[in-house]
Amino acid sequence: MRCITGLADAEILSKARRAGAKIVEVPVSHFPRGGGRPVFESRLAGKLCFVKPGVVIDLVKDMVRLKREFRGSRDGT
């Protein structure tokens, strides 16, 4: 596992499928953040949220890396 962004779930799922794992959905509960700060967002004037540019760059890098990795494994390399 090499993703450092929100693509980590996609990397895990893709690799599990390629390994022949059975994939099922299970219900989960979501709760409001109890503390800390979001890693991927910044706030402007305490109200407007926007994604940090560095996060977008890292996400694109992960997407390209995963595409190359999966394309190579599909070709047998």
pLDDT along the chain (77 residues), means of 10: 84 90 93 79 70 86 90 63
Report the pLDDT value the prediction gives residue 76, as an integer from 0 to 100: 47
Q: What is the pTM of this model?
A: 0.62
Measured CA to CA in angstroms, residue 12 lies from 1, 25, 30, 51, 76 at distances of 7, 14, 20, 24, 20
Provide the 10 A C-beta neighbour count for residue 70.
Answer: 14
Report the pLDDT value the prediction gives residue 26, as an integer from 0 to 100: 95
- Backbone CA torsion sign across 33, 39, 40, 43: positive
- Asked if residues 43 and 52 have their Cβ atoms less than 8 Å apart, the reply is no
